[in-house]
Amino acid sequence: METNPVQKGLAGMRMSNESFITLFMIGVLIALFGAACVVVPNFYLPQNMINLLTNNWYIIIVGIGVTFLLITGNFDMSVGGVIALTGVLSVYFCQGANVSRNELANGLGLPYGVAIALALLGAMSVGAINAFFIARLKVPSIIVTLGTMMLARGTAQVITRGAQRNTSLPDVFGVVGNMTIQGTSIKVSVLIMVALVAAAFVLEKLTVFGRRTYLIGANPEAARLSGIKVARHLTWLYILSALLAGITGILLASEFKAGVSSRATGYEFDALVISLLGGVSISGGFGSVLGMFVGAVILSVMTSSATGLLLSPDWQFTLKGVVTFLAILAQRYALDRRKG
Amino acid sequence: MGLTENVLEIRDLVKDFPSVRAVNNVSFNIRRNTVHCLVGENGAGKSTLIKILTGALQRTSGRILLNGEEYWARNPREAKEKGISTLFQELNVVDQLTVEENLTLGMEDTTFGFLRRTDKISRIVSVMNSLEPSIHPRQLVSTLSVAKKQIVEIAKAVASESDIIIMDEPTAALSEGEIARLFKIIKGLRERNVTVIYISHRLDEIFEIGDYVTVMRDGRHIDTKPLSEVKDRAELIKMMIGKTVFEQYTPKEGPCGEVVLRVRNLSTHKLRDISFDVHQGEIVGFYGLVGAGKTELARAIYGADPYEGEIWFRGRKLPPSTDRVIAAGLALVPEERRSQGLFSILTVRANVPVMNMKKVSRKGFISAAREREATRAFIDRLRIATSSTEKEAAKLSGGNQQKVVLSKCLFADADLLMLDEPTRGIDVGAKSEIYSIIREISAEGKSILIFSSELPEVINICDTIHLLYDGHLRETIRNGCEIDSERIIHIVTGGA
């Protein structure tokens, strides 16, 4: 077939596959939202729309780290465990010392700021363990992070005796997680999520650090031979991912004024699902934080329309699974068609 | 006896690739129960011919007769069923299984999907026992040496009653004792009614093991004769290289600059005590056949593999770490373009500046404009055929991909550029373009190391040529004076 110059010119201006997938998934989102508005009563109300964008804030924050790592071709399955661990640690560090005969009510009695800092340090040390095994010893990331997932949650269980700690906490502990922006019902946590997504977008698209993330995912061997310090880069990313999970853990612990060892069970899978929904490639080198955000909202639309339809929670999980499957199939199909 | 005298007859065989005729009207016979050697330089057409025999490639035209009957294999499995087995350089054994399981792999007898022990298994095992008694059938293959793994494969071919076993460089990874044992087995195969087609760059082996030899050059059949009628290595080499006309090499004007790279007593698992100097502006070639240690040398200098010995660059010792070697001013165009050089799913713009992001960024932030500008400059300078800077590198042709990798290294502003097989798998036009780029950057005063298994390539552009054989630096030749290509081939094929 002959291509005329006009077509060639257009070909040169074609958008990247990444923008294509993000736009495609925004299309899917709008279609799902439209359908939900028709079927589900009151779905179109502004308050509901705001909820859709905001009620998944904790998954989106950990999704940032998971997305960056997926782009390098690595998994982080430890984020759920890290959320639980950090929450429990922050509570334990903050609880008054020797105030009760109940051991679960006794903590270390540290000042709030110190407690938070130490808890985050605990989170980052899980990230450092991940990085050591994955980047230095070259153990497959899925194995390592499944291990640290259990290690982190296990430590949280030990500290809480398999339950939770929620007494003898200073009032300041519950402030940040329950604060809202004046005059609205939007939580500060959501604001933090938006700020982090914006920062991640800048980091990913505009910086050398972001570029290296893609290069490593696209071809780790070529990256190494091009002088990129692959191990060091992965180390930073795992620590970053654990830090984000730690921030989430502290916000959630503050919101409920409790450190619960079973908190965030399965969040690592939700974070993975929204990344994949957003077009991040499991083989690395492809995807974006913005796509992940769109994926999160799709998941949110699905969950809340299921609730709106009064579907029993038993069915919600199945529905989630089916939609995830269909969305990813549609994505692959669209991408393959585009190549031809 | 219903058996024909020739086990294999090849008639007017042709194989065309898009830009080149790799096998050109080749006809010859292979006699039954002999060891038939196939020799020729890289690119002579040996591999293509073998791939047609094993069903990995399909011929363009011509006939092949096996046992007097028309032979056509659509894939390696079919070739095996019809009686042609191959011992590839990359051995085809499953490390996690036992010897016995490997031997019977793909021909297990089963009842309702469960394995059944049959006579067939004990027969195969007995064949192996007679070849090499020291291998135990219940042993895990992963515990065997390369040499013994080969024997397992040979046993499998013999037991499946192959007429022909093709061996492609079987001694490349063997020690001398192992080679002797392999040769004993090969000689014994004649009595088992097996013909061996033996391919090797090591000419001494050919004289030791072969009954007949077929020489190929530039896709053509040059001659087939009994080895008893070949006088010596020199005669064989003459047939292999013919009267190759090389493009005119123009010696460098003026003396070379100071020494920039000094390598002393470099050894790795593959290299033995290599020392040499490289001057400023010099183009240095390392010529050797496959497995001579060229890539290992390039990777050691580049800090990609551990080594013993010392490497000095501009008076400073080079650290054994790639990122610091690059910072010191070296760059490598690696051998495997797709797996080691190119970020194929990313755009051309993302590929070009990789090795020197400082030039297109400020305080860690990338300037998209500067990046595009730099990429465009290289697209123009190297004439990279791409519709835009935003095209995925995977969508470019091989030659253009190589130019992208080259741009990446040039963008690093390295003072010493290493190129490992810089023109492998790219067409003639792109080849000569790459040569002229190499000359250009050498004229700018940069030093260049070229690692190549193509003799015309090194003779064309290199000022100094080092000959490698089996990890040793055998000889160093100044280009420009009368180059004796026969002698070069003599040395790199193991001659003293």
- Phi-psi group of B426: left, alpha or beta (phi > 0 → left; psi -120 to 50 → alpha; rest → beta): beta
CA distances from B270 to B119, B150, B274, B292, B471 (A): 44, 21, 11, 9, 6
Instruction: Give the integer Cα–Cα distance in Å for B63 and A126.
Output: 66
A80: β partners:
none
Structurally, how many domains does chain A consist of? 1
Do B360 and B289 lie in a common domain?
A: no
Give which of B468, B424, B467 is closest to B333, Cα–Cα. B424
**What digits encode the pLDDT tens for the residues B293-329?**
999 999 999 999 999 999 999 999 999 999 999 999 9
Do B391 and B430 lie in a common domain?
A: no
Distance to chain A for B173, nearest Cα, Å: 25
Mean pLDDT of B176-193: 86
In tens digits, what is the pLDDT along chain A, a chain of 340 residues?
333 433 333 444 567 788 888 888 899 899 989 998 998 888 888 888 888 888 899 999 999 999 999 999 999 999 999 999 999 999 999 998 888 888 888 889 999 999 999 999 999 999 999 999 999 999 999 999 999 999 999 999 999 998 899 988 999 999 999 999 888 888 999 999 999 999 999 999 999 999 999 999 999 999 999 999 999 999 999 999 999 999 999 999 999 999 999 999 989 999 999 998 888 888 888 899 999 999 999 988 888 888 888 777 778 778 778 877 887 787 777 777 765 4
Q: Tell which of B374, B391, B413 closes a domain.
A: B413
Instruction: Give the integer Cα–Cα distance in Å for B296 and B266.
Output: 11
Do B202 and B318 lie in a common domain?
A: no
Do B318 and B423 lie in a common domain?
A: yes
Mean pLDDT of B8-37: 89
Instruction: Give the integer Cα–Cα distance in Å for A224 and A237.
Output: 17
Give which of B317, B313, B292, B296 is closest to B305, Cα–Cα. B296
CB-based contact A225 B390, cutoff 8 Å: no
Q: Report the 10 Å Cβ neighbour count for B77.
A: 12
CA distances from A295 to A21, A30, B425 (A): 11, 12, 42
Nearest residue, CB atoms, A225 vs list B334, B350, B365: B334
For residue B334, tell me if it sits in a domain.
no
Q: What is the total residue count of chain B?
A: 496
| Domain region containing B325 | 244-329+414-496
Q: Provide the edge-to-edge strand list for the sheet that holds B35-39.
A: B84-87, B164-168, B195-199, B35-39, B212-217, B220-226
CB-based contact A214 B350, cutoff 8 Å: yes
Helix (H, G, I), strand (E, B) or coil at B114: strand
Do B465 and B319 lie in a common domain?
A: yes
Percent of chain B with pLDDT over 90: 41
Tell whether A221 is within 8 A of chain B (Cβ).
yes
Instruction: Give the integer Cα–Cα distance in Å for A18 and A120.
Output: 33
Helix (H, G, I), strand (E, B) or coil at B286: strand
Tell whether A227 is within 8 A of chain B (Cβ).
yes
CATH of the domain at A312: 1.10.3470
CATH of the domain at B119: 3.40.50.300
Give which of A322, A265, A266, A331 is closest to A299, Cα–Cα. A322
**What digits encode the pLDDT tens for the residues B198-255?**
988 788 888 989 999 999 988 899 999 999 998 888 888 888 877 554 555 666 665 6
- B interface test, pick of A21, A71, A226 with most B CB neighbours within 10 Å: A226
Do B272 and B163 lie in a common domain?
A: no
Q: What is the mean pLDDT of chain B?
A: 86
For residue A9, tell me if it sits in a domain.
no
Residue type, A134: I
For residue A78, tell me if it sits in a domain.
yes
Instruction: Give the integer Cα–Cα distance in Å for A179 and A170.
Output: 16
Do B106 and B181 lie in a common domain?
A: yes
Nearest residue, CB atoms, A224 vs list B322, B365, B366: B322
Do B372 and B277 lie in a common domain?
A: no
Prediction pTM value: 0.80
CB-based contact B347 A16, cutoff 8 Å: yes
Helix (H, G, I), strand (E, B) or coil at A296: helix
For residue A10, tell me if it sits in a domain.
no
| Domain region containing A71 | 17-33+41-335
For residue B1, tell me if it sits in a domain.
no
For residue A52, tell me if it sits in a domain.
yes
Do B160 and B279 lie in a common domain?
A: no
Q: How confident is the model at residue B157 (pLDDT cuts 50, 70, 90)?
A: confident
Eight-state DSSP code of residue B347? B
Mean pLDDT of B430-449: 88
Complex-level ipTM? 0.86
Mean pLDDT of B383-412: 89
pLDDT value of residue A310: 75
Nearest residue, CB atoms, A12 vs list B341, B387, B408: B387
CB-based contact B343 A219, cutoff 8 Å: yes
Q: Are A59 and A267 in contact (CB under 8 A)?
A: yes
CB-based contact B304 A224, cutoff 8 Å: yes
For B161-181, give one letter per residue: b (16+ CB within 10 A) or e: ebbbbbbbbbbeebeeebbeb
CB-based contact B342 A207, cutoff 8 Å: no
Half-sphere exposure for B354 (CA within 13 Å, toward CB): 36
Nearest residue, CB atoms, B343 vs list A207, A222, A227: A222
Do B67 and B160 lie in a common domain?
A: yes
Question: To which residue do tokens 């257009």 refer?
Answer: A10
For residue A177, tell me if it sits in a domain.
yes
Q: Which residues of A touch B339 (CB under 8 A)?
A: 219, 221-222
Q: How confident is the model at residue B103 (pLDDT cuts 50, 70, 90)?
A: confident
Question: To which residue do tokens 């060639």 refer?
Answer: A8
Q: Are A40 and A308 in contact (CB under 8 A)?
A: yes
Structurally, how many domains does chain B consist of? 3
For residue A5, tell me if it sits in a domain.
no
Distance to chain A for B382, nearest Cα, Å: 19
Do B495 and B475 lie in a common domain?
A: yes
pLDDT value of residue B2: 55
Q: Of A249-253, B149-153, B177-181, where does the model show the most confidence?
A: A249-253
Contacts of A95 (CB under 8 A, 6+ apart): A105, A106, A107, A108, A109, A165, A167, A168, A169
For residue A2, tell me if it sits in a domain.
no
First and final CA of chain B: distance in angstroms?
46
pLDDT value of residue B246: 52
For residue A104, tell me if it sits in a domain.
yes
Q: Tell which of B390, B413, B436 closes a domain.
A: B413
Nearest residue, CB atoms, B357 vs list A13, A206, A208: A208
Do B181 and B208 lie in a common domain?
A: yes
